[in-house]
Amino acid sequence: VLSTIFVLVEKKSEAVSFPLWWGKFWESLQSRVLWQVCLFRFLSNVFFSVRTTAVLPITTYWAEVEPLNDALSNIFGNLVFASVLVIVGKWGLHWNWRWTIAAGTLGMVVVDGFVVFLTIWDVVRNQWFFNGVGLAEQFPQGLRFIVATYVAVEIADKGNEGATYGLITTVSNLSGPFASIFYKYVNSYFKVSQNDVKSDTLEVRWDVTYVYFISYGFKTASLFWLFLLPPQKAEAKALKARGGKSKVAGYILVSLFLFCLSFAVSSNIMSIYPSTKCYRVAGGNGVLDPNTGKCPVK
């Protein structure tokens, strides 16, 4: 808040009426470059956001990470992330966006996999190793984030920069609930619960390994959608100029955005209440009480 008040410089401009602003933004929504980038962000992030429910049990019972060390790790992780943004902003403005995202994705998979698999198979089970080496994945994560931000800036029309960035960012964030439902559904067929991880049997280790292979496979598969992303700002501007417009695409984009937003809000609300939180659409395991036919109340 303080940096926004004292550091951010914004030139005063004349207010624009809502009908005029919406007319310009509607023109942007019809452009191929905008709906193509939104499609890329959504599909790519659905695949990239496929995780595993075994993360917390592994952190708690196998790596034995203490809350204080976990908090410190998050702080240092944010510092690394911020450093990446500065580095890319100074030296990486002309990097190929596709190659940068590919390098960031594969780098994250390699670093995270190295730490996780050594922990799963009891080669190294140490909270400093688990958190310390894991900090390295903030670097590729930062690469993915900053490139996505640059894309939004390059394709936005004057006066609609905030709305365009907000739309692309929100579309990206809305992919989370879809990925969450999928991986929680898949993980429910493996022995990766807290009690399973505590038992630390060979079968459990293999099941945890399998769900991580699935997660990393989907993260790698997210690179398939890179063909939808312009390689750099010159190509983005060319697509914006010559890509054409489509009212049908604009209506579809707005409709899908509203549907995904409604789905995400509904899913989050359902996950709060005991009577609905067990449903798979709310991220639960789908197991109902055989006596009542409803979510079990513990």
Domain residue extents for the chain: 18-246
pLDDT at 266: 85
pLDDT at 217: 96
SS3 63: coil
**pLDDT > 80? residue 127:** yes
Q: What are phi and psi of 245, to 5 degrees?
A: -130, 155
Which run of H or of E encompasses 213?
helix 202-221
Maximum distance among all Cα pairs of the chain, rounded to whole angstroms: 67
Give the model confidence (pLDDT) of 134-190 as tens digits: 777 777 778 877 877 788 888 887 778 888 888 888 888 888 888 888 888 888 889
**pLDDT > 80? residue 206:** yes
What gap in Å lies between CA 8 and CA 27, rounded to an integer? 29
pTM, entire model: 0.85
**pLDDT > 80? residue 2:** no
Give the model confidence (pLDDT) of 83-95 as tens digits: 888 888 888 878 8
What is 18-246's CATH number? 1.20.1250.20
**pLDDT > 70? residue 298:** no
User: For the residues 62-71, what does the mean pLDDT come to?
Assistant: 87
Give the model confidence (pLDDT) of 234-250 as tens digits: 898 888 888 888 888 88
Q: What's the token pair of residue 257?
A: 């955005």
